[in-house]
Amino acid sequence: MNRLILRFAVPIVVIVLVIFAWVVIQRLADGRGVGVLAVAALVVWAVGAPLFIWFWPRITVSGFQRAIVRRGFGSGPVAVNTLAAVPYTSAAASTGSLIATGTDDVLYVVGWIDLRHGPLTLHVPPMPGRYHALQFTDPTTGANVAYVGTRTTGDSGGDFEVVRRGAAPARGAVVLPGRQALVIGRVFVADEADRPAALALAQQFSLSAVEGKQRWS
């Protein structure tokens, strides 16, 4: 949803404006007063639509943050700068679950990153022949800003430095535009018999502090 709103921000604003303009024209044609409606239209045109587009990504990603660090996925809250593997597929999740998506052939890995104390090391286990991916989402825009996984870094695993933009990252580092990010990972599951093996791999994703690196306030 965030991606669609960001992609079609201008058409969304235009549609809202056209709808309000049509309503105002209809009321004028009928000879009815438009004072209150004009004020409402002005608020929506000048303030409402831009604010909605601006704040929607922040609201939705913040919802993910609260669900992860306050509630977790059955085993308690997930601490900041920690990755947690969800042990069931989305079909096994309740209707209100954060991971109740339409995808039922992956296990999810979730976490919230905060680089206020410096860079982190992301450890990814080798997964030859098994699709996996971690996406890093910027909470201020809702855009996915970096990926680690089969299609971007291969299936050999390894350690990847996670840094803020403006730092001097190591080659192949994950560079974030700000100090925070939502992390959502996926590990392929062939069938129910394959789930324990997939979960064992998903549980090997981890984050740790990078010793000796610059620390930010």
Task: Give the Cα separation of 54 and 12 in Å (integer).
Answer: 12
Domains of the chain: 2-70 (no CATH), 72-209 (2.60.40)
Tokens of 57: 């990504």
Task: Say whether pLDDT at 126 is over 70.
Answer: yes
**97, 174, 93, 88: which is closest to 136 by C-alpha?**
174
Mean pLDDT of 7-30: 69
What pLDDT digit, counting tens, does each position of 66-115 carry? 778 777 776 778 899 999 998 887 655 544 455 555 577 899 999 999 99
pLDDT the model gives residue 217? 31
Residue 142, SS3 per DSSP: coil
pLDDT the model gives residue 216? 37
Task: Say whether pLDDT at 53 is over 90.
Answer: no
DSSP for 159-214, written as a single string: EEEEEETTS-PPTT-EEESSSEEEEEEEEE--SGGGHHHHHHHHTT-EEEE-TTS-
pLDDT the model gives residue 34? 59
Task: Say whether pLDDT at 180 is over 60.
Answer: yes
pLDDT the model gives residue 91? 57
What pLDDT digit, counting tens, does each position of 135-178 carry? 999 988 888 899 999 999 999 999 999 998 876 666 678 999 99
Beta strands in the chain (DSSP E): 83-85, 106-114, 120-124, 132-137, 144-149, 158-164, 174-176, 180-188, 206-209
Task: Say whether pLDDT at 123 is over 80.
Answer: yes
Average pLDDT, the chain: 79
**157, 112, 113: which is closest to 133 by C-alpha?**
157
Task: Give the Cα separation of 86 and 188 in Å (integer).
Answer: 13
